[in-house]
Structure 1
């Protein structure tokens, strides 16, 4: 693990989920649980920043006994936990959402539409089953309870704001869409390999990211960004890691992610989150306690 320069007080810890908090097998290690519990006991607010929805993030937050606003949909939504109250939303403009959906349909790709609604009763919208890719079939099976299949005409005119628009396909096919997507007034991200073992193309409101949501949350909590520590592993974490006081990249992260961070920990198969919390937050907190100061410092 690398050692960054000294940092100011750390009051907010933001952790990505997939590839970071979770092991490759999708589990949270006992070491990570203990480190997060100790960070919270030291007075640090611990939260999660993820591309996931509230439903499958709230269960993880509950497992870790977190009581803090959660950053969801790649930064398009912040939801108070456990109440489920929306604190912040940053959806796509209606016209841009319609343009993105029309582009995917014109290319024969199935849109995965994640609308803004009640976080306690989330929905996923999509089109006719014949457009499903094999990877989307897996996704739709996982989210069967939230799935609504709509006719093309209704897809093109959604009656709710759209938080995220996603396509799950072979990466080489999604790469061909890059010029057309880049022409839209939106932020977009193409992952070569997402959580469903395929390419993942995501469209968000222009400027929307985990980084902007972390900044919004820090503002809501009256915490300077210099007093925020974040841990992540993927391209959608780059902005977040570079913007906070101390960004830490997982050991298995790409060179681009590591370059954006100020420190690197071990991989998610080697308790990287626990090691990062221990080294850069808890060790400093203990030192601070020994100096009779009840605050934690990122070193």
Structure 2
């Protein structure tokens, strides 16, 4: 019987990819990622602030190797390297101007989505987009709609650059990765990877950037993509 091909390093988004439509982690994810991490690096790449993917790796029982804030933050446990890029001051200025225009970030007084954010700003999708885009542009930033929030970020920062930093720390080529995602903020990562999948619920930008689109949505799509990658399907 022919041997299975070696597993490539894997970069995977969280919301909409490892979760269902209510952002609940698919029950099959922990065991699959643990087994994968035993054979090859697994990078959790998200738009969320750094504590979220760090905690996910901790509870999954895999090495903490993460890209957060759409590439603005990256951490590699193996080398104990933490990297931040982006213009947090400009993001804070956007928040102040947006508030002065009468708009809220939409997260309530505690504002957990931004409480530990270091390089960008997250705004609820229930808030008006047009004034946010105008204010962001005046401060040299862009707005990316991930389907879960509007992210105000530096235009030269994305998950591909975050993944490149992680790959460099691990001593591997970023082009050796397989990548799975669902949103516009995954586009750079999907394009840089050797092979990439967008789950069926992905937005148009991610679908166009990926090499393949799964039949299944959300967690089903992730499992489908992972199985095809393990089987060596290009």
Partner of 1:92: 87
**Corresponding residue of 2:30:** 33
- Asked if 1:230 is matched to 2:179, the reply is yes
Alpha-carbon distance change, 261 to 100 in structure 1, aligned in 2, over 3 angstroms: same
SS of alignment partner, residue 231 of structure 2: helix
2:186–2:206 Cα contact (<8 Å) kept: yes
For 2:208 and 2:6, the matched residues in 1 are separated by: 23
Structure 1: gaps (5+ residues): 1-7, 112-132, 149-160, 195-199, 285-297
**Segments of 4+ moved more than 4 angstroms:** none
1:109 aligns with 2:65: no
Residue pair 2:11, 2:178 contacting (<8 A) in 1 also: yes
**Is residue 36–residue 46 contact of structure 1 (8 Å, CA) maintained in 2?**
yes
> How far off its partner does 1:268 sit?
4.0
The residue that corresponds to 2:159 in the other structure is: 210
| Pair member with larger Rg | 1
Q: CA deviation at 1:93?
A: 5.8
Tell me: higher relative CO, structure 1 or 2? Use CA pairs within 8 A at least 6 residues apart: 1
Distance 1:222-1:81 versus aligned 2 partners, 3 A rule: closer
Identify which of 223, 231, 234 aligns with 1:283. 231
Q: Does the C-alpha gap of structure 1 residues 34 and 201 become closer, same or farther in structure 2, counting only changes over 3 Å?
A: closer
2:222 to 254, 273, 295: 273
Alignment of 1:79 onto 2:75: yes
**Residue of 170, 177, 195 corresponding to 2:132:** 177
Measured in 2, the distance between the counterparts of 1:28 and 1:190 equals 21
Q: Is the contact between residue 133 and residue 142 of structure 2 (CA under 8 Å) also seen in structure 1?
A: no
The alignment yields a C-alpha RMSD, in angstroms, of 3.0
Worse-matched range after superposition: 177-186 or 271-280: 177-186
Deviation string 1:234-281 (CA, Å, 9 cap, x unpaired) is 11111211122112101111222111100112444452212211111x
| Partner in structure 1 of residue 206 of structure 2 | 257
TM-score by length of 1: 0.67
Distance 1:176 1:267 in 2: 36
